[in-house]
């Protein structure tokens, strides 16, 4: 088994650190209550762009995705998703 120096899992204790990181990046934050029985959307906005996720770590991930790929974020090549599912190891 691989040994890791750190193992970080998206859980309740990562919510506030994710929000701290987003605020430090200059994003405005808010929660939208969704009328479906308990879900909330965590929202971040900056410079005319809005991001929404079902948890702060998910929200931070979407911001990181956009910061890395920009407005052309919806790239499908290379198809890493298929590579991972097809890998027998």
pLDDT of res. 32: 93
* Extents of the domains making up the chain: 12-86
Which regions in the chain score pLDDT beneath 70?
Answer: 1, 89
DSSP state of 55: S
Residues 6+ apart with CB under 8 A from 23: 29
Q: Is the pTM of this model over 0.85?
A: yes
Query: Terminal CA-to-CA distance of the chain, rounded, Å?
Result: 13
Q: How far apart are CA 87 and CA 89, in angstroms?
A: 6
């Amino acid at each position: 088994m691989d040994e890791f120096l750190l193992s970080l899992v998206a859980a309740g204790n990562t919510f506030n650190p994710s929000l701290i990181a987003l605020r430090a990046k200059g994003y405005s934050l808010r929660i939208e209550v969704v009328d479906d029985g308990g879900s909330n959307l965590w929202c971040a906005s900056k410079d005319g762009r809005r991001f929404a996720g079902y948890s702060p770590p998910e929200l931070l991930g979407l911001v990181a995705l956009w910061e890395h790929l920009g407005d052309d974020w919806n790239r499908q090549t290379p198809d890493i998703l298929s590579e991972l599912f097809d890998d027998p190891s």
